[in-house]
Amino acid sequence: MAPKPPTLGKRRGKAVALLGIAHAAAKWPPNSATFGAPRRSVAFLGHMARALYTSRMLSVEQAQAEILGRGRVLPTERVDILAALGRVLAEPIRSTRRIPPWPNSSMDGYAVRAADARPSAILRVVDRVIAGSLPTHAVAAGEAVRIFTGAPMPAGADAVVPQEDVDARDGVIALRGAVEPGAYVRPAGEDVREGDLVLEAGRAIGAAEIGLLATLGRTQVTVGRRPRVAVLSTGNELADLGTEPTPAQIPNANTYSLMAQVVEAGGLPLNLGVAPDRLDAISERIARGLEADVLVSSAGVSVGELDLVREALVNAGAELHLWKVDMRPGKPITFGSIAGRPVFGLPGNPVSAMVTFELFVRPMLRAMQGRRAISRATITATALAPIINRGSRRGYLRVVLEARRGRWGARLTGEQGSGILRSMVSADGLAVVPGDTSIPIGDNVEVIVLREVST
């Protein structure tokens, strides 16, 4: 069961005291305009006081459960089977056919009765059947039918002798050895029987699934709708793609890495661009983002005076949860909902934004499509060099994976700073390391696999 979200509960007295402090803080300093600090609404400060007071350290798994507990599966749509690649099947597929429809040969050779097939037996060839045609003769005792791969077995025959195992001349064949009943015969329904449940709802559709759907004569299939995900970056220091950063600016990375992660998770990104650190600007973007199914913003969620994303979300009607999550990278994450729409306030550092997306947004987007398997695969790898987590929080450390004598080995990508985006570029996975833990060379480490690793 999902753990209960933090609530005020019996400690209401203390919270009321904090609200009082929030009131006072809203009025302080008396002439805040001279400080250039934005004045915050009493309601928002009350919200923050409550959130900070009630925020407790959650494990990543608890935070994930809280988030998923508030998700909903989107409606479905019908698409052509090729367009279903990478989508989530929303209907169980039962077979209306038997595949193959009849027993057929898996070799070029001769259809025979196994009982006749003794070494040096001579059989008369009475027919020839190729793929795409039907046999016209049954095989009687002492007879054989020339047959090719994929052609239906003639009645009476129960085995195929490959052509390289006979001596053929003048309409007869001489066998060289015995043949087992069923040899080189693919039975009817060997792949699919009529009525079989061949694909369950909730699975991702890949190339094999599309082949199977085609085999069953399906031109279209019902899949979960892709979630539309509005992506917002905030910060006065950000120059968006296409504009040259001023001397005081840095390029906007997060919009693009997060939109790409949305696509990888099966969603459709909506670019809300960059909002400067002004409440009106952020609020205007958030209002535009509400046409999407999910809102993901990055940066502006710390406790600095220019960290206005939470306030803008609350003003837009969000019920917010502020969590300290036992993880690094990733500061407290903000999650909530506006009119049933999940909203995420991710940290601004490019690696923190990507890793928190991985752990919290991606599973939600997959679940919204009706997907059953929402988590990445984890493997147990061997540390190829010491893997040290000096922090007290659980580390999600970027590692390279290497195949070593049939086992996976993992080594850190290098510096683990949360602003070092190049460490994500080289990361095949995230090693999950408990706080204050050193994993020596040769010890096992659990790794979340982020991408296909070629060997």
- Per CB under 5 A, residues contacting Mg ion are 235, 299-300
Q: Of 88 and 299, which has the nearer Cβ to Mg ion? A: 299
Question: And the tokens for 12?
Answer: 């209401």
In the three-class reduction of DSSP (H, G, I as helix; E, B as strand; rest coil), residue 342 is classed as strand
Candidates 60-68, 217-225, 233-241, 427-435; binding stretch for ligand AMP (CB under 6 A): 233-241
Candidates 440, 394, 396, 435; CA nearest to 416 is 396
Question: And the tokens for 330?
Answer: 């990733």
Residue reference for tokens 């057929």: 104
**Pairwise CA distance, residues 99 & 293, whole Å:** 41
The reply on whether position 347 binds ligand AMP by CB under 6 A is: yes
User: Which entry of Mg ion, ligand AMP, none binds 269, CB below 5 to 8 A by partner kind?
Assistant: none
Quick one: which of 103, 154, 235, 429 contacts ligand AMP (CB under 6 A)? Answer: 235
How many Cα neighbours within 13 Å face the side chain of 438?
4
User: Which entry of ligand AMP, Mg ion, none binds 416, CB below 5 to 8 A by partner kind?
Assistant: none
Q: Of 262 and 299, which has the nearer Cβ to Mg ion? A: 299
Residue nearest to Mg ion (CB): 235
In the beta sheet, which residues pair with residue 345? 297, 334
**Pairwise CA distance, residues 329 & 110, whole Å:** 66
Quick one: which of 161, 299, 343, 427 contacts ligand AMP (CB under 6 A)? Answer: 299
Give yes or no for a contact between 317 and 256, defined as CB atoms under 8 angstroms apart.
no
The reply on whether position 147 binds ligand AMP by CB under 6 A is: no
Give yes or no for a contact between 417 and 350, defined as CB atoms under 8 angstroms apart.
no
Q: Of 105 and 234, which has the nearer Cβ to Mg ion? A: 234
- List of residues 6+ apart from 191 with CB closer than 8 A: 99, 100, 215
DSSP symbols for 229-279: EEEEEE-TTEE-TTSPPPTT-EE--HHHHHHHHHHHTT-EEEEEEEE-S-H
In the three-class reduction of DSSP (H, G, I as helix; E, B as strand; rest coil), residue 349 is classed as coil
Candidates 39-47, 135-143, 161-169, 298-306; binding stretch for ligand AMP (CB under 6 A): 298-306
Q: Of 227 and 347, which has the nearer Cβ to Mg ion? A: 347
User: Which entry of Mg ion, ligand AMP, none binds 261, CB below 5 to 8 A by partner kind?
Assistant: none
The reply on whether position 348 binds ligand AMP by CB under 6 A is: yes
Q: Of 159 and 322, which has the nearer Cβ to ligand AMP? A: 322
The reply on whether position 266 binds ligand AMP by CB under 6 A is: no
Using CB under 6 A as the criterion, which residues of the chain lie in contact with ligand AMP when the complex forms? 233, 235, 237-238, 250, 252-255, 298-300, 302, 347-350
